[in-house]
Structure formats: structure tokens, C-alpha cells
Amino acid sequence: MNAEKIIKEINLIYSQYAVPKNIQKHMFRVAGVCELICDKTNPKLSSKNLVAVSLIHDIANIIKADFSDKIKINLLEKEDKKKIDYLKSKQKEFWEKYGKDDNYANEKIAKELKASKRIIYLLENKSLIHLSTKVIKKDFELLIFFYADQRVSPKGVVSIKERIKEYIKRNNIKSPKKLKKCFYFLEFSKKIEEILFAKMKMKPKDINDNSIKKYLKKYGKN
């Protein structure tokens, strides 16, 4: 399945894999950030692969959902709060089929969808471990994909700093070791932001919920 087909059929794909609405919205926003960046980069970049991979990058996130945590349940859309039992049953199905590693499951589903090699590569290499200076310089698309995901919180597009702050609060992170890792991640993401915006016609604050609206309308019904 090439990028165009994934984008065109994304709502059917979400239905097939029982993706909760809040996760759908997150992926739509990441795709929107990617496309906006591509439009504003000089020279302008093709966004098809980035949009496609963004629309499926968290497709198996139900695997790590905590349906006993009130804070995380509150992130669900109203219609999904009414079908917690159904989502729990789907979670068990995912555990049985893919295991409990959501990253592995996301990659497995991409392969089930017969996504292109490029899309699978982007999905497999987005993690912090793979984003060395060497990779960054060689693969600008991978850099954009990583950055876009860091700009989208459960409630919308935010700054890098706000995203890390929200992540710490949502996951109740208090361990000095884990907090240190979060702050390292923040600094790393800021460096990527500097690299990106050196080639762009806008500033980080120009990426927001309003500026990506026109893209979201293109992807589907969300």
C-alpha cells in the first residue's frame, strides 16, 4: 500500500484496527505538522510519505492504554468512554496477536498494510536511539517526522517544552533518573528544532492548531 492509498483509506484502517478517537486525532495532527513543515521548507518537500507514516505511527497504542487510570481515561473521546469494555477486549486481542510492545506492533501493522519500504523505514527509525547526528544529516524526512510527533500533545499542538511538561505530568514522573531522561529529551528536541528551522520560512510558534487546520480536512472525517 503506497502513501496515497494509506491517506485515502485511513478512516477504514482506523476502523479495522479499532483505533480510539483521541489517538486518531493525535496522528492527524502529527500529519498536519509534517505537511505544514514540508510546505514551508526551502525548497519545498513532498509530504506524502510523512503524512502516511504519521497517520499510522501510533495505530497500536491501545496496547499500552491504562483503563484503570482516570487521568488517561479522561483523554478518551466521549463516544469511546462509553465503550471501555469493548476497548479492553480489543486490547487483549492486540496483546495476543502482537505482544505488549507498542512500537513492534505499530511496525507489524504497517507491514500488514503492505506499506512501502520507505514508510516502514521511517516508522522503524523514528526513536531517539536512531536519531544520531549522522542520521539527521542524511535523512531530513526522518528529522521532520520525529519533530512533528514531539509537537503534538493529547490535547493539540504545543511547544516542545510544553509537550515534555505535559508528558511528565500525565505519567506522574517523579524519579530523578526518569526526569533527567525527559530533560535530555527536551534538549535533544530543541537541537533538532534549530536544525529544522534553519531551512524554513517560519518560526516554531507558527506551528499551531490553527495553522494545521487546512491539512486535517484533507485526511478524513476527524
Q: Which pLDDT tens digit goes with each residue over 34-72? A: 999 999 987 778 899 999 999 999 999 999 988 888 878
pLDDT beyond 70 at 81 = yes
What average pLDDT does range 182-203 have in this prediction? 88
- Give Cα 144 to chain centroid, integer Å: 11
Are 13 and 56 in contact, with CB atoms under 8 Å apart? yes
**15-19, 160-164, 191-195: least confidently modelled range:** 191-195
Q: Which has the closest alpha carbon to 161: 191, 135, 138, 189?
A: 189
Q: Which has the closest alpha carbon to 19: 79, 97, 101?
A: 79
What percentage of the chain reaches a pLDDT higher than 70? Answer: 94
The C-alpha cell of 142 is what?
Answer: 526522518
- Pick the residue with more confidence: 130 or 169? 169
**65-74, 78-87, 94-103, 111-120: least confidently modelled range:** 65-74
pLDDT score of 126: 84
User: At 171, is the pLDDT very low, low, confident or very high (cuts 50, 70, 90)?
Assistant: confident
What average pLDDT does range 115-132 have in this prediction? 84
Residue 161 CB neighbour total at 10 angstroms = 11
pLDDT score of 43: 75
What average pLDDT does range 121-127 have in this prediction? 88
pLDDT beyond 80 at 31 = yes
pLDDT beyond 70 at 134 = no
Would you list the domain boundaries of the chain?
A: 3-219
pLDDT score of 98: 94
pLDDT beyond 70 at 125 = yes
C-alpha span between 33 and 51 (Å, rounded) = 9
Decide: helix, strand or coil at residue 156.
Answer: strand
User: At 222, is the pLDDT very low, low, confident or very high (cuts 50, 70, 90)?
Assistant: very low
- Alpha carbon distances (Å) from 14 to 79, 91, 222: 15, 14, 11
For CA atoms 202, 41, 139, 149, the dihedral sign is positive
Judged on CB neighbours under 10 Å (0-12, 13-18, 19+), 100 is exposed
